[in-house]
Amino acid sequence: MKFILNKQIKYYTKETFRWINLIGALLFIVMTIILMKYKPVYSVSILEEQIGYIKNKYELEEKVQEMIEKEGTNNIAYVDIKVEPEYKFTLVSRKEQTNLEQIVAKIEEQTQITYKYYAVTLDGEQKTVVDSLEEAENLVTEMQEEYKNSTKIVNVAISEVYAQDKEEYDIVDVKVAKEEVAEELQEIEDATVNGVYLSQKPITGRITSRFGNRESIRTYNHTGLDIAAPYGTEIKAAAGGTVTWSGYKGSYGNLVIIDCGNNVEIYYGHCSKLNVKKGQEVKAGDVIGKVGSTGNSTGNHLHFEIRVNGTRVNPQNYIYGE
């Protein structure tokens, strides 16, 4: 009985191996046929949208990592990849093309790159933008040295600026930047009277009477500039200071006088309306009144007068000079 059982076991074992070999051969044939028609790839999706196929998902991950590693190079401050690619192993026709570069481009479309540049500022106002901190520092050092004896202390400084679009700032080389800043500093120098910077034109208009003119309306040389403008045009302070007069004053009509310090006073005459009061502190650009024709006047205009140590000077030496 034991002999017969052993013989049956050997028979079934042999049959089992035969069937296993047969099935293995069939599977090999099937896989060979499949692989002749299809190839294994990774399907890549972004935001649940299938965008292509790649052979090796690690190649794509390396490309994504390369994007991230751009931070700190070529003025790139931050790289924010807003999507994560999703992978699915699949078989596709051998005719189907893999498209790694196109997939990378799709991911780049969903990536926000922030660029960092360096702005050179004058009194807090941005004047020019350069690529590197070293360029900006050299420029500021040169400007501070060149203008250290200026009649007005100008704060030349550096600030970081950021942009998502490389075209947002007009990036210039250091030579051009130096010329631009030097031009700005010269304009400030030209617009400075006794250390007071006239940074704001009070109004825009046509000059109808210049400093020193003799005209039939008066028996003395003109003491300022007359600038014609429509009735009610806002008048802005040319420089900051303290209002020492705001009211009617003889031939000036409605007048504002601002003490700008350094013994510099500025008169704004013939106003239709006064927006400030005596003792009020104002800064350049503040609206102090409106154009009118009060006092000794033949039409709507601003009488703009500058006095240094009580002596009237020609405003066009510092402003409205063009």
Which residues does 146 contact at the CB level (< 8 Å), separation at least 6? 182
Q: Give the residue among 150, 189, 223 at the shortest CA–CA distance from 318.
A: 189
Higher pLDDT: 124 or 317? It is: 317
* pLDDT (0 to 100) of residue 3: 44
Give all domains of the chain, ordered by start, each with its CATH number: 33-109 (no CATH), 115-190 (no CATH), 206-317 (2.70.70.10)
Binning pLDDT at 50, 70 and 90, where does residue 299 land? very high
Binning pLDDT at 50, 70 and 90, where does residue 280 land? very high
* pLDDT (0 to 100) of residue 235: 97
Q: Give the residue among 271, 274, 211, 202 at the shortest CA–CA distance from 239.
A: 202
Position 138: which residue type? Answer: N
* pLDDT (0 to 100) of residue 5: 44
* Per-residue model confidence as pLDDT tens digits over 129-139: 888 888 888 88
* Per-residue model confidence as pLDDT tens digits over 7-34: 454 545 656 666 666 666 666 665 565 5
What pTM did the predictor assign? 0.54
* pLDDT (0 to 100) of residue 93: 82
- The C-alpha atoms of residue 285 and residue 317 are separated, in whole angstroms, by 20
What are the structure tokens assigned to 227, written together?
A: 């600038």
* Residue pointed to by tokens 């009617």: 248
Binning pLDDT at 50, 70 and 90, where does residue 56 land? confident
* Per-residue model confidence as pLDDT tens digits over 227-257: 999 999 999 999 999 999 999 999 999 999 9
* pLDDT (0 to 100) of residue 126: 81
Q: What percent of the chain clears pLDDT 90, i.e. is strictly above it? A: 31
Binning pLDDT at 50, 70 and 90, where does residue 302 land? very high
147 pLDDT more than 70: no
288 pLDDT more than 60: yes
Q: Kindly report the average pLDDT of the chain as a whole number.
A: 83
Q: Give the residue among 232, 229, 224, 235 at the shortest CA–CA distance from 305.
A: 224
- The C-alpha atoms of residue 274 and residue 226 are separated, in whole angstroms, by 18
